[in-house]
Each structure stands twice: as C-alpha cells, then as structure tokens.
Structure 1
Amino acid sequence: MRVHFAAQIKNARARHRDLPYRDLLTQVLDYRRWRQFAFQLVRPDRTEEKLTRARHSRLSGGEQSVSLHLPLFAAAHAMLNSAHPHAPRLLALDEAFAGVDDTGRGELMSLAAQFDLDLFMTGYDLWAAHAAVPAAAHYDLAHSAIDHTVSALLLVWDGARLLADDTGDLTAALGSPGTRRVPAAEPEAARPEAAVAG
C-alpha cells in the first residue's frame, strides 16, 4: 500500500509542480474520489426516485436509518470484493440501527449476512439473534453506580439459540485466555500490616 501511494504522489507531483505539497496530498488521498455511489429510493410500487437530502429528510426516523445502512452495506460489499479473499470484511457501527424496529433490524442483519460482512456494533437494546445471522457474540454490559463497576456477560447466538456464559465455560471454549478477570483476593497472611500510631 505504501508503494502504491508513493507512486501516486510522485505522479501527481510531476503533473502539478506548482501545487503545494499539502494540497497535493489532499488531492491524492481524498478517498471520496475513488468511488462514487448514487442512491435510488424504490417505493413499494417499484417506482424509483433519486434519494436526495431533501427527500431523505421527509422519511420517518426508521426509514432514514435503513436508507443509510443499505447503501453503507452495499458500498462495503463492493469495496471488500476488490480486496484479498482472506482480508477481514469488518464493518464497525456505533449506535447501530438506531430508530429501526426489530423487523427492520432483522432484515438489515440478513443483508449483512448475505454480503458476508462481519459487523462490530454498539447500541442500546441491540441483539443479533435473528434467523439469518449464522453466529454472533454479544456482550451485555451492566453498570453499577454503587460499586463503580461495569460487568460484562457474554452471550453467543449459534444461529438457533442464545447461549449465556454465566459460568465462564463459554469464554474459555471460544479461546479467551481469561486475563481480564479480577485477581483473587490475597490471603490474610500475605497482606502487609498497617502500622497504627497511638
């Protein structure tokens, strides 16, 4: 990759000798010029219209979210198809599918599975337990304001049922070294004694 971009910069410098180096880098590394996607909104009656910002703003909240996720998945699929076959097909989504109902979430996850995308998602009340999803690991986080702690419970969707790791066996079966566990309390004899001034 380094060789490729070095050659692109060298060629751009040869073509535009008067352009400041910063502007030249901006031009060469502007990924928005590499691919272009046009979005069409397909209505239930199969008619199509261009999805502009104005048209997008007239959609409901759920429709807006879906209309953003669909092209994102299609773009990721198109880009990752040109990558090495063993390259990760990872897509990270923060507050994934916000405003989308459970049926819509299932359809979006089904599309991600069809495109062979591996999703890394965060969100409130977000579950990947849908029939179209072959497998998913889910961490349910619980915050205790009293103890100032956050606990995590691993749940694994195996395509048919949700398995909870309430005993820690599932984490070990998935290959976790278990290094993030709270260390066991030291025995009383091993603790240093505190001196009390009287």
Structure 2
Amino acid sequence: ETLGDTIASLEEEIDELQHEIKEISAEITKQERVIVENLKQQKLVNVEELQQQLLRAKDEQKERESQLIDLRKEELRLTGVIATNYTQLQMQEAQLEKNQFQEAYWHQLCHKRFVTDDLLSRVKEVALPEDNVKLRDLSDRVIRQFNFIVDQLGNYQPKILNNIDVELPEEIEKKLGDFSQYNHYKEPIFVADNQNHSTFELLDKLVSQQMILQDLSKKEDEKLFKTIILESVGKVLRSRIQQSLQWVGQMNELLKSRKNSSGLTLSIQWKPVTSENANDLGTAKLVELLQKPVEILSEADRQAIAHHFQEKVYYAQEFTSNQTDEQTTLFQAITQALDYRDWFQFEMKYKRANEGYSPQVLSDSQFNKFSGGEKAIAMYLPLFAAVYSRYLDAEEWCPRVITLDEAFAGIDDENISDLFEACEELGFNYVMNSQALFGDYPTVSSLMIYELLRPQNTNLVTPIRYHWDGQTKHFLPEQTYG
C-alpha cells in the first residue's frame, strides 16, 4: 500500500512538471511571435522610432533570452527529477512485485502455522519484524543445543530433521531468497520403543515412566523401611531414646538433690520438637510408636512409621541434589535425618526456695536477672549433672574427669564452695585453670595446687606447688627425682 501511494505521488508530480514544461514552451512560442511582429512594425514606421523600438526589442530580447536560458535550465532539472523519480518508481514497483510475491506465500505459511480465521489480528499481536540474521542465529543455536543433549540422551538415538511447512518448487524457493527460511524449521526426533517421538512426546513418556517407577519404588521402600526401621534401626533408636530419657531423669534427680546457698532449684525437660512438615508424624507420636514392642504395633502404625522415614530420606535426597558444593553426601544427609537428638530440645526450669509458684522456664531474659551466684548455679550444675549421668555408663575403674578453663570466674566464694562440694559429691577428678582460684575451700577434701609464676614477662615459667588437705594449704618444696 505504501509503495502504491508513492507511485501515485510520483506520477502526479511528473504530470505537473510536464504541464509546466508545456507552459514554458508556449511562452517561448509567444515571444518568438512578438519578435516577428516587431520586425513587421519596423517596416511601417520611421527609422528613429524603429531604432528605439529596436533597442527596446533588443533589450527585451536579451531579457527573454535570459528567461529562456533559465527556463531551459529548469527544464533540464525537471527532466533529471523525472528520470530519478522514474528510476525510483521502477525500483518501488520491483519491490512491490517482490513483496506481493512473498505475501502470497506468507499467507500460506501463516495459515499453516496459525490456524485461525482472523489471521491479520494474530499477526498484529506477534508484530515481529523480518530478521533473517536473527533467524539464522536461532537456527544455529538449536543445532548447538541439540549437539549438547546428544551425549545425554544417546540411548534414545537423537537426530534432527529439516522440515518445511509448505512444499514449494525450487525456482520459487530461489525467488523467495532469504524469506524462504521462514518455510524451514528443525525438529529433534528421539526413538523410544521403536517409535519416533518429538521432544515433548519423549518428555511426557519419561515423566510417565518416572511416576510408575516412583510408585513401584515407594512400595518396595515401604517394605524395606518396615524391616529396617522397626527391626534394626528402630531397636537402636528405641534404646538410645530410652537411655536419653534415663539420663534426663538422673540429671533431674541430681539437680533436685543439690542444695546451694542461693536456694535455687533447677530441672531439665527433654521436649519433643513440634513437626514442621504435614507428612511427619511429629516427635511425640513417633517416639510413642517406637517405644512400643514391634509385636503389638498395628499395620497402620507400621505404615505410618515407614512413611515418616521415607519422607525423611526423600528430603535428604532432594537436599543433597540441590547442594552445589558437592561436600554433602547422601549418607551424611540420611544420617542427619535419622539423628534422634534433633527430634528433641532441652528446656530448663527454675524455682527459688520458699516461693509457692511452680517451676518456670529459664529464658535468656530471666537468666540475665539472676545474681552472679544464681547464674553460676544455672550454668555449672546442669553441666555437672550431664557429665555425671554419662559417666554412670562407664566402668568403675574409669576416671571421671572434668576440665574447666577460667573456672568459676566472677562467682562469690560461697557459691564456689557449693560448686566444689558438688564436684566432690559426684566423685569427679578435675583440672581447673584460673587467675585467682586456689580451691582451698572446706568443701574440698584434697587438692593439688600449682601456682605458675612468670616474672617480668620472661620466657620462663616457675611452678609453686601446694597441697590442700581439707583444712590447711601446705607449701611443697621442689621435688627431686633420683
């Protein structure tokens, strides 16, 4: 349409220029007649008048000749414009013919690809300019990407087909030129079950197979998990959880029996962690089922336990596959998923003597309100109770050793004496390091003390030995060895 408007405009401009040329030619003819008339008049009048008329005529002739030169120049210019416009007209007509030729096949291609009655509106929605360079780049990219997946999907005999939308004669293809690329497209083909499949057909087939395999593996996994979790791993978990509950009970007995000058009583609760996943049984329900003898578990309970650990393992597999550092192995992820210690959390409670309320949760804010002695009791007594409860599983001949760096720093003597008494009563052998602590308290029955001296920051440390016998600290001279 644009080319047609341009052609019409150029033709109209040519007509106007030709009309102007005709007017100029008519003016030239008129002036030539005037000259002829002047010559005739010269024969009829006297010489002087004729000379004057001649002079005027010559002047007029010069003026006319000048105008004629200008008109001829303008005629040449307009002739050049006509030639240029005619050349452009021929080029535009050739381009119009090419566009009309392409448009005819463009309609065929679009009707092939976009099956719609309102083809023009669909094309306006897409509104993509013709870009043969980009089209070639896209085609090359498809080839590169296909070559990349050939190694990944070699079992499916991948190959790429060069297809066409509309069958066109060879001379038509040549005449269409680069535009003929829009009639060609590349299609990856894969072979599965002796049949050719497109990319999306293969994807649907593989997804379907994956779902079938997952269903089968879930059934097999369920049998496996029932056997492993309920008979082998389940026994270990039941034993460890029961042992941990016994440790917590022992710790609480120790904490309740401990009397201190602050009158502070502590207790510990090992609480099941609330479930964050709808597929989890929850720690409380899981522990309840694991603590039952396998023989009395119902089939529903067995399936619930198996499903719970299936989800844990699937989560571990997914977690491992999403790790980019390649440092987390599936074994580590499953081990973490089956670590019963993560199913619980400790909660400490406190109660002061002669106060009627029930034990309260020891939060950070409440701990910060404690006095220095109360803070020491809240920190060290649970630690001692935990170590002692673990040592109860050791043989009688095993040493029960604890070590403390900067021991009892910032605690008053009365509470330090109470803490030493706790170490004595629990039968600990201990090594403690401090800048000011000597340990010579009445609650300590016997203690070896080493004071380390380093005068004036020299490279030499001198130990001074003492012995506390429960009442007196004795200096021990340097020991010699024979």
TM range (shorter): 0.5 to 0.7
- Structure 2, unpaired ranges of 5+: 1-231, 238-308, 317-329
Question: 1:33 and 1:84 mapped to 2: Cα distance?
Answer: 28
For residue 147 of structure 1, the aligned residue among 458, 478, 481 is 458
Q: Any residues of structure 2 matched to 1:1-198 within 5 Å, and which?
A: 19=316, 20-26=330-336, 38-46=347-355, 47=357, 48-145=359-456, 147-165=458-476, 167-169=477-479
Q: CA deviation at 1:78?
A: 1.3
SS in 1 for 2:461: strand
Shift of 1:89: 0.9
> Could you tell me how far apart the structure 2 residues matched to 1:27 and 1:144 are?
55
Cα shift at 1:103: 0.9
Structure with more contact order per residue of length (Cα contacts < 8 Å, sep ≥ 6): 1
Structure 1 residues 53-62 or 112-121, which shifts more?
Answer: 53-62
In structure 2, the CA distance between the partners of 1:90 and 1:28, relative to structure 1 (3 Å rule), is farther
Runs of 5+ unmatched residues, structure 1 = 1-6, 179-198
- Superposed displacement of residue 125, structure 1: 0.7
TM-score (norm 2): 0.30
Task: Tell me how far apart the structure 1 counterparts of residues 337 and 456 of structure 2 sit (CA, whole Å).
Answer: 49
CA-to-partner distance for each residue in 1:31-56, whole Å, 9 max, x for gaps? x5599654222213144322222211
Corresponding residue pairs, total: 161
TM-score by length of 1: 0.67
Mapped partners of 2:389, 2:346: distance in 1: 10
RMSD: 3.1
Measure, in 2, the Cα distance between the counterparts of 1:35 and 1:96: 30
Partners of 2:409 and 2:420 lie apart in 1 by: 13
Instruction: Find the aligned partners of 1:36 and 1:116 in 2 and give their Cα distance.
Output: 28
Q: Is the 8 A contact 1:66 1:97 kept in 2?
A: no
Between the aligned partners of 2:417 and 2:338, the Cα distance in structure 1 is: 39
Report the more deviating stretch, 14-23 or 76-85: 14-23
Q: Contact 1:63–1:100 (CA<8 Å) still a contact in 2?
A: no
- Deviation (angstroms), 1:90: 0.8
Residue of structure 2 equivalent to 1:185: none
| Structure 1 residue 65 displacement after superposition | 2.2
Structure 1 position 100, deviation (Å): 0.7
